[in-house]
Amino acid sequence: MTDYIRAYHILCAAASHALDVLPDTPENTSGRAVIQEALLEAEDVCIETMEEDERRAER
């Protein structure tokens, strides 16, 4: 079985690190915004999925 949570953590950590080292210049502004928005969306999906899994486990 694929470990999606682990894959999510690896990818998000890499994207976060890339944002940390990417110079904060006008040329990078739109790229930084895209990555930050995607990270927030991925976090929301992960949280929703974990909450759904917890509700299923309680039944």
Which pLDDT value is given to residue 2? 65
The Cα–Cα gap between 7 and 11 comes to: 6
Query: Under a CB-based contact definition with an 8 Å cutoff, are residues 28 and 22 in contact?
Result: yes
User: With a threshold of 0.85, does the pTM exceed it?
Assistant: no
Q: How confident is the model at residue 5 (pLDDT cuts 50, 70, 90)?
A: confident
Which two three-digit tokens encode residue 4?
């999606």
Number of domain units in the chain: 1
Which pLDDT value is given to residue 34? 93
**Using one digit for the tens of pLDDT, what is the confidence trace for 34-57?**
999 998 998 898 888 888 888 999
Percent of the chain with pLDDT over 70: 97
From start to end of 1-59, where are the E strands? none
Structural domain for 10, as ranges: 4-58
